[in-house]
Chain A
Amino acid sequence: MKKAKILPYIILFIACLYLVLPLAVTVIYSFVTGWTEILPDGFTIKYYLQLFDDRRFWPSMFRGIIISIIPILISSTVVILALYTSILYCPKLDRLIQGICMLPNILKGIVLAIPVLSLYAGSDSFLGNRIVMLTFVYCIVILPFVYQGIRNNLRAVNVVQLIEAAQMLGAGKLYAFIKVVVPNMLSGIMVSSLLSMSAIFGDFAIVKIIAGSKYITAQQLLYNSKNLLLQYQSAIVSIMFVSTLLISGAAFAYQNYKTKKDMQ
């Protein structure tokens, strides 16, 4: 007989309350006229209207998304190319590739941005350009997502056999890789691109350090609003959170859809 366990529920209830409370209160707070007693004084949407009226708001939201596109393209390409070597010619190289790609899990935020800024800020070459610097640092930031997305997809297929089979049919190795293996990676790349986008959209440390006032994303807009009314800030936080949720939600939804489809 299994006795009903109540303790796990209590632990998780308290923990989830702690996690949800700040979020929920902030969203509610963005709709209130004031809140000094037990209950809010009244509700309003004027802070959202005010925010949408601000001509800087939507461009700053889009800047956070747009800046992620080139890094996603660059990182996906270089990881696929590197995996080509490691899978076909040198399996040992995979350890190194994995090591490099997982490094940004530890070296992140300021630890990535500051050395790059410090080294290239005075440079006369294209690397001295803040947007170029930002793009490349973001390439590094998203390596873990890109690598894992591609790798997880490849685990299911026997790449070497696939390529050998294609070669027997007369295809060259590279051609076989591009035509047979890369399409197998695509759904993984799709998921990791969305996760990368969400990570870059959520970044404040790197964009502030490297771009400063040269590239104002929604995160920077939020930071600059620190002396404004708390409700106004809460409205920005709520919209940013919902946006992040939509992006990463799309990633999970796509992943689930894909697994279900593959299982059928």
Chain B
Amino acid sequence: MKKLQNISKWLTAVPLLLLAFMFIAFPLFGMIRDSFLSTEGSVTLANYMEIMSKPVYHSAIRNSLYLSFLSTVIGLAVSFLMALSITQIGERSQGIVQSILNMTSNFAGLPLSFAFVVILGNSGILIAFLSSIGIGILENFNLYSVDGLLLLFIYFQLPLGTLMLLPAFQGVKAEWKEAAELMGASPFYFWIKVGIPVIFSSLADTCSLLFANALTAYATIVMLVTTNVPILAVKITSMFTGEMAQQKELGSALSIVMLLIMFAVICICNILKKSVGKER
């Protein structure tokens, strides 16, 4: 009887667990299984071998890593500066900047890529504008290249990164800075010794999130990606939904590769977070 009562207590937690199991865990297991199957259904490593041997997958992985790492590092650095700056300006300006961040954090995905086509595409307005006033720095700019995409990636990382870091910066008390200043520490020294260690866990979390965000970005780039610039997320998706023959097993293996990269980066961020946490 007691046991029955215990079970009934847990009953209300079941729907959430079931939902997560059916639509996160189970499909992921299915994907791992599929990645080791041949199209005929026998167990094989051929899918992974193909990924390792074909140049097109190498360049897709390379491009995705390049975009994700650079956009994360630049995004994190600029977000850091932005969040730091926000804490040092007047209250009214803070409100304006935060509104802009909230607004542009909603501007992502497909609409964002259309906007970039308008300003920086083949007949982009910004390019035309700059060259008509005699500034030619963008004349060789190609939105449809890896570096063109990087600009887009950095765009969607900035509002996200800044909004995530801001609470941590607001937690760094002004009194600490004053105390450090009284003892003769420069602002730079203060940030190295006190500021960054305090916000480090928030930095590490933001880093994981930005990286995952960039690696799996699809809507933002699908319209701009050409066959010359293969990107992992687009490549994988086309294997499951493309008009051509579907390659479920190979696509699964490629997805697993992407997930492994993502989890490796998240693990590194978490290890860093823990080790800095211990030092303190």
State whether B15 touches A22 (Cβ < 8 A).
Answer: no
What is the CB-to-nearest-CB distance from B144 to chain A, in angstroms, rounded to a whole number? 13
State whether A241 touches B24 (Cβ < 8 A).
Answer: no
Residues on A with beta carbons closer than 8 Å to the beta carbon of B236: 110, 114
Judged by DSSP, the binding face of A is: helix
What is the CB-to-nearest-CB distance from A248 to chain B, in angstroms, rounded to a whole number? 6
Kindly identify, within residues 169 to 187 of chain A, every residue whose CB is under 8 Å from any CB belonging to chain B. Answer: none
Which listed residue (A36, A111, A116, A223) contacts B223, Cβ 8 A? A223
What is the CB-to-nearest-CB distance from A59 to chain B, in angstroms, rounded to a whole number? 18
With known contacts A25-B119, A89-B9, A114-B236, A81–B102 Cβ distance under 8 A: no
Count A interface residues, CB 8 Å. 80
**Which of A50-58, A133-141, A157-165 has 4 or more CB atoms under 8 Å from chain B?**
A133-141
State whether A82 touches B15 (Cβ < 8 A).
Answer: yes
What is the CB-to-nearest-CB distance from B246 to chain A, in angstroms, rounded to a whole number? 9
With known contacts A22-B118, A26-B114, A209-B240, A118–B223 Cβ distance under 8 A: no
Q: How far is the CA of A155 from the CA of B276 in the complex (A)?
A: 29
- Is there a chain A Cβ closer than 8 Å to B272's Cβ? no
Number of cross-chain contacts by CB at 8 Å: 230
State whether A204 touches B109 (Cβ < 8 A).
Answer: yes
Q: How far is the CA of A22 from the CA of B106 in the complex (A)?
A: 13
Q: How far is the CA of A131 from the CA of B111 in the complex (A)?
A: 24
> Taking CB as reference atom, which chain B residue is nearest A36?
B128
What is the CB-to-nearest-CB distance from B253 to chain A, in angstroms, rounded to a whole number? 12
Kindly identify, within residues 222 to 264 of chain A, every residue whose CB is under 8 Å from any CB belonging to chain B. Answer: 222-223, 226, 230, 233-234, 236-237, 240-241, 244-245, 248, 252
What are 10 A-B interface contacts by the 8 Å CB criterion?
A: A11-B82, A19-B100, A23-B115, A29-B125, A77-B15, A111-B216, A119-B27, A209-B240, A212-B241, A241-B111
